[in-house]
Amino acid sequence: MQAAHRLDTTFAALAHPARRAILARLASGEASVTELAEPFAMSQPAISKHLKVLERAGLVSRGRDAQRRPRRLEVQPLADATEWLERYRRFWERRFRRLDALLDELKSSTKKPGGRR
């Protein structure tokens, strides 16, 4: 059940475009709240709320650099979500390959000699 709760928390955190943008920014390196707030038309407290959601999901951690508290991306929750999604991708790939094979078989069986249908 713990793994399911972590996935729920991860996907809930990823549901908001501002949080996804924050993660994209952190993918290029750690940043302060002020730096993370720059590209957004929202207040620093609003960014801080989004960061709390990301921290609860384990997607972001807080460092300490003198007075500065830079945030950094934590990749494990994303890796877990990717692994979960990958199982479904493989499932649907198998299904589509079977459908392609069936469609090819149906095309072949409906063709008449001489190239006509």
Q: Which of 89, 10, 94, 1 is nearest to 53 (CA)?
A: 10
Q: How many domains does the chain have?
A: 1
Please indicate, yes or no, if residue 64 is contained in any of the structural domains: yes
The three-class DSSP label of residue 60 is: strand
Question: Is residue 87 in a domain?
Answer: no
Q: pLDDT per residue over 18-66, tens digit each?
A: 999 999 999 999 999 999 999 998 888 999 999 999 999 999 999 877 7
Average pLDDT over residues 84-95: 93
The reply to whether 63 falls in a domain is yes
Name the DSSP letter for residue 61: E
The model's confidence at residue 74, banded by pLDDT at 50, 70 and 90, is very high
Q: What pTM did the predictor assign?
A: 0.75
How large is the C-alpha radius of gyration of the chain? 23
